[in-house]
Amino acid sequence: MNLPLSAELIAETNAREVAALEDDYGSLGRKLSRSGIDIDAIKHRVANFSVAVPSWGAGRGGTRFAKFPIAGEPTNIHEKLEDCAVIQQLSRVTPRVSPHFPWDKVSDYAALREEAASLGLGFDAVNSNTFQDQPGQAHSYSTGSLSSTVEATRQQAVEHNIECIEIGRQLGSTDLTVWVGDGTNFPGQQDFARSLDRYLDAAAQVYAALPGDWRMLLEHKMFEPAFYSTVISDWGSSILAAQELGPKAKCLVDLGHHAPNVNIEQIVARLHRFGKLGGFHFNDSKYGDDDLDSGSINPHQLFLVFNELVEAELNPRDGFNPSYMIDQSHNVTDPIESMLSSAEAISQCYAKALLVDRQALHAAQEANDTMMAFQALRRAYTIDVAPILAMARMEAGGAIDVLTAYRDSQWRVRKAQERKAVGLGAGIV
Ligand SMILES: [Mn+2]
């Protein structure tokens, strides 16, 4: 194992914090035990929770207007893996990286898998990219990809997705995430029915290439880059497509890809009810698909989503194994710091959802006791679960205070001396 930070550094920062943590953990444990909850059992479940980080999230993102790179940001997949390993070493909750092709292309994927393993990392869902043209590409995606009116373009998009499956097999992935930017900017530009027909026909060719234990995760998005309509615009289109494709096709919910104020937690429950909840992209938003840090704007919504996920876990119906990933654009922060902070926000909401008294909640629901049903959620939401997360992290070798340990490590300062500078330019991720 070739972990990026020294274990001594983490031990030193933990030594400053451990007495306070033990005090807080003990106090919270006594409080929870009065409600019949064993804090160690919650800690055990939190320790088994994980969320993937996207390779592209390790670099600074940007908007349609500009990108402001920082010194020492990663310039290739090898450096991205190093940064992801820092996040995992400190947080112990992000053991997998979700790669993106062609951005992360290398000549030897077996070697890349070994390189990741030596850093303490594995690979999560593989992401295809048919929303931009690459140098030397035969057919442009300017007319769309899987739904393009141009047959050769559709075929190229199918082949790219199949290539992603092949790369993913070598990396140890078992999921292909498909998001297409296909859509229109003008009324009348495309026929809604025929463009969906073309998408389904092409997606079925990708589906047919899935190995037996793989899933195809369909990610819907309401708008952007198309601003009038998109082909897979909402969870309705997504579940209909997934149902038509077959049992290995599932829906992936990105928290930012909905109309404002949509009840996302209800969508989660609906998709699970029909065995189609395949994955999650965590981020937060204020106005649209802002890709802000998870839990930074609406942590209560994140908690309510996890409340549904815990319900689903307890009642798995056709199985429950969603693929979780952070999907954010880090435009103004050090991406490592944002992902450390976000991983903690996500785990916190999971831990709080575990603290919900399900028996009391279900009893109140059956009795139509609105206030007590709401209070069952409110009681859990207001508990500060930070000591549970910190204890789980420390016991797994991570840092009690991840951001302080990261800053103490001087990682970015050291990388700024080693890595070449990243160019300016637009940087939507
Ligand atoms: Mn996403």
pLDDT band at 320 (very low <50, low <70, confident <90, very high): very high
Spacing, Cα 161 to ligand 1 middle (Å): 17
- Average confidence (pLDDT) over 395-409: 98
Spacing, Cα 219 to ligand 1 middle (Å): 7
Q: Is the peptide bond before 335 cis (omega within 30 degrees of 0)?
A: no
Is the pTM for the entire model greater than 0.95?
A: yes
pLDDT band at 429 (very low <50, low <70, confident <90, very high): very low
Spacing, Cα 283 to ligand 1 middle (Å): 9
Q: 374-395: per-residue pLDDT in tens?
A: 999 999 999 999 999 999 999 9
By percentage, how much of the chain surpasses pLDDT 70?
Answer: 98
Spacing, Cα 327 to ligand 1 middle (Å): 5
Spacing, Cα 281 to ligand 1 middle (Å): 5
pLDDT of 428 over the 60 cut = no
pLDDT of 67 over the 90 cut = no
Query: At 229, phi and psi to the nearest 5?
Result: -150, 150
Spacing, Cα 183 to ligand 1 middle (Å): 17
Pairing of strands 126-128, 183-184: unpaired
Question: Is residue 60 within 8 Å of 331, Cβ to Cβ?
Answer: yes
Q: Which residue has the higher pLDDT, 339 or 428?
A: 339
- Average confidence (pLDDT) over 346-369: 98
Q: Is the peptide bond before 102 cis (omega within 30 degrees of 0)?
A: yes
> Cα–Cα–Cα angle for 315, 219, 195, nearest 5°?
125
- Using N-to-C axis directions, what is the helix angle for 386-395 and 335-354, rounded to 10°? 110
Question: Is residue 131 within 8 Å of 179, Cβ to Cβ?
Answer: yes
Q: What is the CA 127 to chain-centroid distance, rounded? A: 12
For 152, other C-beta atoms within 10 Å of its C-beta total 10
pLDDT band at 425 (very low <50, low <70, confident <90, very high): low
pLDDT of 222 over the 80 cut = yes
**Rounded Cα–Cα distance for residues 167 and 155 (Å):** 18
pLDDT of 308 over the 50 cut = yes
Q: Which residues contact 45 (CB under 8 A, 6 or more apart)?
A: 354
For 72, other C-beta atoms within 10 Å of its C-beta total 21
pLDDT of 323 over the 70 cut = yes
Residues forming a β-bridge with 333:
none
